Amino acid sequence: MLNCSEADYLKRDRALIAESMKIRFFPILLESSKGCWIRDTQGKEYLDFSASWAVANTGYGHPKVVEAACEQVRKTTMNSHISIPSPVTVELAEKLVGLMPGDFAQKVWFGHSGSEAGDLVAKFLPIAKQRPKIISFEGSYHGQTLGAAALSGHSASERFSGSTLMAKVPYPNPYRYDGDENACCEEHLSNIRRLLSHSDHDYAGLIVEPILSDGGVIVPPDGFLEGLGALCREHDLYYVIDEVKAGFGRTGQLFAFQHSRALPDAVMLGKPMASGIPLSAVVGRAEILDAVPSGHMMTTAGNPVACAVGLATLTVIQQEGLVKRAAKYGARLKEGLQMLAERYPQIGDVRGRGLMIGVELIVPETVAPNPALVAQLCFRAKELGLILFYVGTSSNVIEITPPLIVDEEEIARGIELFEQALADALAGKVSSADLAPYLGW
Ligand SMILES: Cc1ncc(COP(=O)(O)O)c(C=O)c1O
């Protein structure tokens, strides 16, 4: 039950805030957040296994992050790096370049959102390579601004194709592939090889998520990213990795592309980069980022508060061993969910790396996607005190991305609540009328 003020705010939210900026899974009104927990305006606490769409990697309100923000706000809230540089922005750029592999000249572009980083890729690859087209993947999500939407192969973006010339190819999905992982990998690489088979092909580059995130938390088969990197080198394409969701420790490597040996020419970063203060980046070959001087600049991008928090976020991730922690606790969480899968035939697959886990729900008899059950489970989980969101081109994959500071007890509690929510959903405890306004995407 919502209290009056909560119900009133939600009504005003419905009336005033554009539907174009919403995907809602349940009613809630946020009061505050700390660590892995969020609190609603009635004082009820929820264990947050979403980390606000994989943003709160260091947890909410980490003291070092808060201190960095406050200290920088006291110095200045703003300079426009377009015309007056500040030290913290340069320091963060240096740090990011230092973390990327590759013995070529690299630079950093800063923005506020992953989408703006996607726009840079859409705008600049064709110019830097002097070829018009880009390859991306069906089901991929690179953002919602026009260029980023054009790169994407997700239903949330497909109505906006802009003027970017694209080829969208299937992303390998071992769970839904009729054959072994090697065959899955080879067949999907062959599709791309065919596109590039003419020496006068007109592709400038290829952009890929190292784990297809909003497309369903799909981990590609071993060797697939290496194969892509090799094809890009062989046919002279830029190989671009989108780390906006998977980056900054989440998958048990600092960057998810490090699970493979293929070296990217450019990497898109965002979301957890400054623990939720808007900040994104592309780190990559100078020839790409310098392709059009003054060609992709936003007045407040790379502002000193966001960059100071970005530096503090990296320090926390490194000093507190959050990358290793994600690998260790992610394995525990995955194991716990896999044990549930043995008892619930509605769980078709549990997959992921580190603390980026997908649970795909199916109709057991047909293995068809079960989006209705997923929506009910997330709704019920919230009532029980666990925050879960869902993704997937068939809206049937629960995305589990807790803050990387999650501990053993919280993981055990999360698994317990997940099971209870699933059992309750199967027992019909979620009414269609309650769920109707919260049907996600
Ligand atoms: C892989 C990936 N790239 C890009 C984006 C776009 O980022 P933003 O929502 O910050 O614009 C997202 C957002 O979900 C994402 O998951």
Distance 366 CA to ligand 1 centre (A): 32
- Give the residues across from 212 on adjacent strands: 218
Question: Of all atoms in ligand 1, which is nearest to the CA of residue 271?
Answer: 10
Max CA-CA distance within the chain?
67
Determine if ligand 1 sits within 6 Å of the CB of residue 209.
yes
Q: State the sign of the Cα–Cα–Cα–Cα dihedral 349, 230, 99, 151.
A: negative
Determine if ligand 1 sits within 6 Å of the CB of residue 40.
no
Question: Of all atoms in ligand 1, which is nearest to the CA of residue 113?
Answer: 10
9 is catalytic: no
Helix H segments across 76-136? Answer: 87-99, 114-129
- pLDDT at residue 164 in the model: 85
- pLDDT at residue 4 in the model: 67
Question: Residue 258 carries which side chain, given as an amino acid letter?
Answer: Q
Catalytic residue, chosen from 141, 203, 239, 390, is 141
Backbone angles phi, psi at 397, to 5 degrees: -125, 120
Question: Of all atoms in ligand 1, which is nearest to the CA of residue 243?
Answer: 1
pLDDT tens, residue by residue, 192-231: 999 999 888 999 999 999 999 999 999 999 999 999 999 9
Backbone angles phi, psi at 398, to 5 degrees: -80, 125
Determine if ligand 1 sits within 6 Å of the CB of residue 143.
yes
pLDDT tens, residue by residue, 396-411: 999 999 999 999 999 9
Q: How many CB atoms lie within 10 A of CB 193?
A: 14
Determine if ligand 1 sits within 6 Å of the CB of residue 284.
no
The stretch 34-50 carries a mean pLDDT of 97
Mean pLDDT of the chain: 96
pLDDT above 80: residue 3? no
Using most ligand atoms within 8 A of CB, pick from 23, 52, 140, 141 the residue to mutate for ligand 1.
141
Determine if ligand 1 sits within 6 Å of the CB of residue 414.
no
Using most ligand atoms within 8 A of CB, pick from 271, 282, 391, 441 the residue to mutate for ligand 1.
271
Q: State the sign of the Cα–Cα–Cα–Cα dihedral 374, 380, 382, 386.
A: negative
Give, in order, the Cα–Cα distances in Å from 39 to each of 42, 382, 417.
8, 12, 17
- pLDDT at residue 237 in the model: 98
Take residue 390 and report the two structure tokens written for it: 């869902």
- pLDDT at residue 156 in the model: 86
Residues belonging to the chain: 441
The stretch 319-341 carries a mean pLDDT of 98
Determine if ligand 1 sits within 6 Å of the CB of residue 369.
no
What is the percentage of the chain residues whose pLDDT exceeds 70?
A: 99
Distance 195 CA to ligand 1 centre (A): 27
pLDDT band at 322 (very low <50, low <70, confident <90, very high): very high
pLDDT tens, residue by residue, 147-197: 999 999 998 887 887 788 999 999 999 999 999 999 999 999 999 999 999
Backbone angles phi, psi at 323, to 5 degrees: -70, -50
The stretch 85-99 carries a mean pLDDT of 97
Question: Residue 228 carries which side chain, given as an amino acid letter?
Answer: L
Take residue 441 and report the two structure tokens written for it: 């995407």
Domains and CATH numbers, the chain: 4-58+321-435 (3.90.1150.10), 64-319 (3.40.640.10)
pLDDT above 70: residue 279? yes
Distance 323 CA to ligand 1 centre (A): 21
Q: Which of 336, 334, 362, 333 is nearest to 348 (CA)?
A: 362
Determine if ligand 1 sits within 6 Å of the CB of residue 360.
no
Residue nearest to atom 16 of ligand 1 (CA): 245
Take residue 252 and report the two structure tokens written for it: 């048990």
* 96/107 Cα distance (integer angstroms): 9
Distance 148 CA to ligand 1 centre (A): 9
Distance 353 CA to ligand 1 centre (A): 18
Q: Residue for token digits 């992050």? A: 65
pTM of the model: 0.97
* 136/153 Cα distance (integer angstroms): 7
- pLDDT at residue 158 in the model: 76
Cβ–Cβ < 8 Å for 260, 238: no
pLDDT above 70: residue 1? no
Distance 267 CA to ligand 1 centre (A): 13
Determine if ligand 1 sits within 6 Å of the CB of residue 142.
yes
Question: Residue 310 carries which side chain, given as an amino acid letter?
Answer: G
HEC assignment per residue over 276-338: CCCCEEEEEEHHHHCCCCCCCCCCCCCCHHHHHHHHHHHHHHHHCCHHHHHHHHHHHHHHHHH
Determine if ligand 1 sits within 6 Å of the CB of residue 147.
no
Cβ–Cβ < 8 Å for 375, 355: no
Interior/surface letters 117-135, b for 16+ CB within 10 angstroms, e for the rest: bbbbbbbbbbebbebebbb
* 308/274 Cα distance (integer angstroms): 8
Distance 397 CA to ligand 1 centre (A): 17
Determine if ligand 1 sits within 6 Å of the CB of residue 243.
no
* 411/405 Cα distance (integer angstroms): 11
- pLDDT at residue 191 in the model: 96
* 174/152 Cα distance (integer angstroms): 21
pLDDT above 60: residue 2? no
